A and B are shown apart, each in its own frame.
Chain A
Amino acid sequence: MRIPLAYNLRHLRARPAAAAMTALGIALPTTTLLLALALPEGLNRVLQGTGDPDNLVVLRKGSTTETNSAVDRDPARLIATLPEVVKDPEERPLLAPETIVIVFAPRRNGLQGNLLVRGTGEGGRALRSYVRLVEGRWFTPGLPELTVSRRIAERYQNLGLGERIHFGKHDWTVVGLFDAQGKAPDSEAWADVDLLMSDFLRTTYSSVLVRTPSPDVQARLQERLDQDKRLSLVGFPEPEYYRRQTQGPGLPLLFIGMFVSVLLGVGAAVGATNTMYAAVAQRTREIAVLRSIGFRRRSVLASFLIESLGVALLGGMLGCLLALPFHGAVTSTVNWKTFGDLAFQFRLTPALLAKGLGFAAAVGLFGGFLPARLAASRSIAASMRAI
């Protein structure tokens, strides 16, 4: 039978300062861990949630991202003639030859950022129906105009509606803001593809985005591109293309975050150990009495572990509360596949919070184990003689 929980709870209440300090010590690494895990969670939501399965991203063979891809104009024109490509109501092939350019631009926090500018056209908008214009208008082909993600406009200087930013050979005017519902284009500014290529002396596209009518046809198109040696192209279903980028961007931050969490966690465990050792020392007499009444060693062990666990879970909950305000906060990191800034939101899911509590519980159990074992292993007679 276990020692009543009231025993542990009231002891915690009897020494609130020690319990609070230990809980706080566990709360901090929990918060750090949660924020570290919220990064990939947010990134994954952006990258894994982007892409229409009917779309095929066509790149140069051997490339995995648009950054290191170059698709000549002739193959791009050839793709437009292929029977696997869906036609719009006016019998025009539904595709978008696009180029991307990374521009150094000042962020609103004063630091320089890698702004990803996508040269696209009407087809690009049609193929990304989730991208909605929320303010202003779309850029005019042939003019140095930008329509940028509202999220990017909030993070970069000179990208507000009506503002101008210089890159390439022009001053580009922001004529509209769009919302991509948290998906990858929310980290982009869009411009006319031909003018952008001309500005940067590009003769090749980065990619061609193509709509196919069904998965079977899409697979056929992939096979055709793969086997046609003249084209030297490769096609990825759009969701897969973005999913492949999820491994890169968050890893350094995740690694640093985890490293700091573990360091702080070890510190917190030592703190919990000290607190529990003090508790055991203060309660030598009580432990002896409980054992003399007939409570077993394992009951004493469990009781002190539960107490340590209780403090740790309190710290864990505090850590979750400290992390919660960051939920939904927008930040960005470099996407090492495209070298562009990738804006995303910290996402604290219930599963992540459960992981945080699990981490705190592990710290508590780890920290409480040695003192609990000491309490359980003490000889009753020796304890009686000592008091």
Chain B
Amino acid sequence: MGTSPVVSLRHVTKSFRRDTLEVPVLRGIDLETSGGDFVALMGPSGSGKSTVLNLIAGIDRPTSGDIRVAGSDLASMSETDLAAFRSRHIGFIFQMYNLIPVLTAEENVALPLLLTPLSGKERREHVRTALGVVGLTDRAKHFPRQLSGGQEQRAAIARAIVTDPTLLLADEPTGDLDATSATEILELLRRLNAEYGKTILLVTHDPRAAGYARTRRFLDKGVLGEMPASYAASASR
């Protein structure tokens, strides 16, 4: 595990324009994450958690402030460079899994590898490994509609880790799952962090999910602050 920050946000603000109205979402946040961290970013709905993830992934741009991820200054990068950056450094896990419905589990997992110079054989090996890590080898040929919610999310995690990205960004990954499946997914994330040293930034409003992280930060009304006592109690397990 390295000590240089994988993610560094300095005085980041983000506002959205609704008609003529400027709606501030992030009000100058600072955040630093080192390699091998497992950080939970908590906060109520609308607090700006997903916006933080989008900014770190380079799929949205801040109104002001600096964002450095894996040594890259995202503000200075073009759309094309950002796409290349995402394919190299970011693995995204969504609440709604967001698998491509017309592709099988293994084809979904293979998608990010199409952006690498790997050969077909190497790609197949990587896919097999990723599906093995998430315990979904026997469902490789299944389409998303043939999988349970938990299995879909595991396939989505396999897709996120298959290129061995620098950073895993998980946006409410258990928000659409039953308790048992949610626990499986959170255990899987913890294992990815503990055994494989993956740096994970988990966005959740669920204190129980946040409990799996090593570090917890709280975002409220666009400001990073201390965890309220009620959250902290629920999050400690």
Contact = CB atoms under 8 A, between A and B. Distances in A.
A2 B103 CA distance: 15
A294 B59 contact: no
Interface of B: 50, 54, 57, 59-60, 79-80, 83-88, 90, 92, 94, 96, 98, 100-103, 107, 111-112, 114-115, 159
A215 B83 CA distance: 70
A129 B88 CA distance: 76
Contacts, number: 75
Which 8 residue pairs spanning A and B have beta carbons closest together? A294-B87, A10-B102, A381-B60, A380-B59, A294-B86, A289-B98, A296-B83, A1-B114
A1 B103 contact: no
Contacts of B101: 14, 286
Q: Which interface residue of B79, B98, B159 has the most chain A CB atoms within 10 A?
A: B98
A1 B114 CA distance: 6
Chain B, interface SS category = helix
A292 B114 contact: no
A294 B115 contact: yes
A297 to B, nearest CB: 7
Interface string A280-302: 00000110111111111100000
A17 interface: no
16 contacts: A2-B114, A7-B100, A10-B102, A286-B100, A289-B100, A290-B100, A292-B57, A292-B90, A293-B86, A293-B115, A293-B159, A294-B84, A295-B83, A296-B80, A381-B54, A384-B59
A6 B79 CA distance: 26
A7 B143 CA distance: 12
Interface size bracket, A side: 20 to 34
A285 B98 contact: yes
A387 B98 CA distance: 10
B115 A1 contact: yes
Contacts of B54: 380-381, 384
Given A6-B103, A11-B102, A387-B96, 18 more contacts: A1-B114, A1-B115, A4-B103, A6-B102, A6-B107, A10-B103, A286-B98, A291-B59, A291-B83, A292-B59, A294-B86, A294-B87, A296-B80, A296-B83, A297-B79, A297-B83, A379-B60, A380-B54
Interface string A107-131: 0000000000000000000000000
A295 to B, nearest CB: 7
B80 A294 contact: no
A170 B149 CA distance: 92
Interface string A1-45: 111101100110110000000000000000000000000000000
Given A11-B102, A289-B94, A289-B100, A4 B112 contact: no
Contact of A381 (B59, B102, B115): B59
B86 A292 contact: yes
Contacts of B85: 294
B59 A290 contact: no
Contact of B111 (A10, A14, A293, A381): A293
A294 B96 CA distance: 19
Nearest to B156: A289
Contact of A294 (B83, B94, B102): B83
B24 to A, nearest CB: 16
Nearest to A285: B98
